[in-house]
Amino acid sequence: MHIFYNPDHAAHQGKLEMFRGRMVPCHEVPQRQDQVAAVLQARALGSLQTPSRFDDALLTRIHSPRYLQFLLTAWQQWIALDPANAALDAIPSVWPTRSFRTDIEPDNFAARMGLYSFDAGTPLTAGTWQAARSGADCALSAAAHLLQGGRAAFALSRPPGHHAGADFFGGYCFLNNAALAAQYLRDGGLERVAVLDVDYHHGNGTQAIFYERADVFFASIHGDPRTEYPFFLGHADERGQGAGLGFNLNLPLPCGSDYARWSEALELALTAIATYGAQALLVSLGVDTFAGDPISGFALQSDDYLRMGERIAQAGLPTALVFEGGYAVEAVGVNVANVLKAFA
């Protein structure tokens, strides 16, 4: 397995996030990637490779230029307000909602933070852009490997990406790695690409990016948005729009679902992907479906990830897996490694 490792991931290390009404230490921590890397190396599942550097212009295939410019300069803007801010994370606190204008970028920094975000749980730090930008290179390197004839690759990176939209961050995500990889495959000549999101939380950013497109099929298995984050997307009746109608499949499941129930949804998703005729598969690999995850609600066990990896491999598609969630830090490495081992 080709594993593209983000060497800059630890540059992004938030201090606190808003969680269930109070400020708590961040759940999305550098130890997540470190644990995965350690287990992959211990099991000899592949060597860690530095990703290639890709042109910044590729980011604009998915993200809006003004959003990218904000991310690039946000920390400097934050420090310019007050040098003491260097000791703090920047956290959004105000957002435009229905009937508010979003076409004009405000001069006020807090307002700009709100314009480009959707929650207060995603701190922006001095190294956020560096870490996210290198993460995009990991995903693009994985996609490039498939175009070169490779069977599989894994982008091991954080912060994750599937909650990030074309012009917003949230859910710990800043750049949508899976979407960037899918677009790279399309630009490389593939006519039909599928994204399978198995993270506990719905990939709202990925859905929004491809919702009106027929060339990228999106399927997601996740906690029911009536009770689970990100709440406002992920319902079963969201099937796509315009040219994209019929190319979006959401499979929400109730809190407490075990692998027996979860795997039924996986069968539906993979059947739909096969019917679509996908030529390559992107997997948003979140392992926060684990029973011990502190911010999720499914009941998968570590051995279940072996069965998950085996079944995804049976789709028979060139596959790039992209690391997303998984916050039970002591178990995250084993769970990811089990997926990759069984896939391989």
CA-wise closest residue to 158 among 140, 129, 132: 132
Q: For residues 163 and 171, give the distance between their C-alpha atoms in angstroms, rounded to a whole number.
A: 6
Distance between first and last Cα of the chain: 7
Q: Which residues of 4-17 are buried (b: 16+ CB within 10 A; e: fewer)?
A: bbbebbbbbbbeeb
Q: What is the DSSP string of 3-52?
A: EEE-TTGGG---SEEEETTEEEE-SS-HHHHHHHHHHHHHTT---EEPPP
Catalytic residues: 163
Q: Residue 228 has which token pair?
A: 């689970």
CA-wise closest residue to 284 among 213, 336, 227, 230: 336
Q: Which residues of 107-116 are buried (b: 16+ CB within 10 A; e: fewer)?
A: eebebbbbbb
Peptide bond into 51 cis (omega under 30): no
Report the DSSP beta bridge partners of residue 2.
153
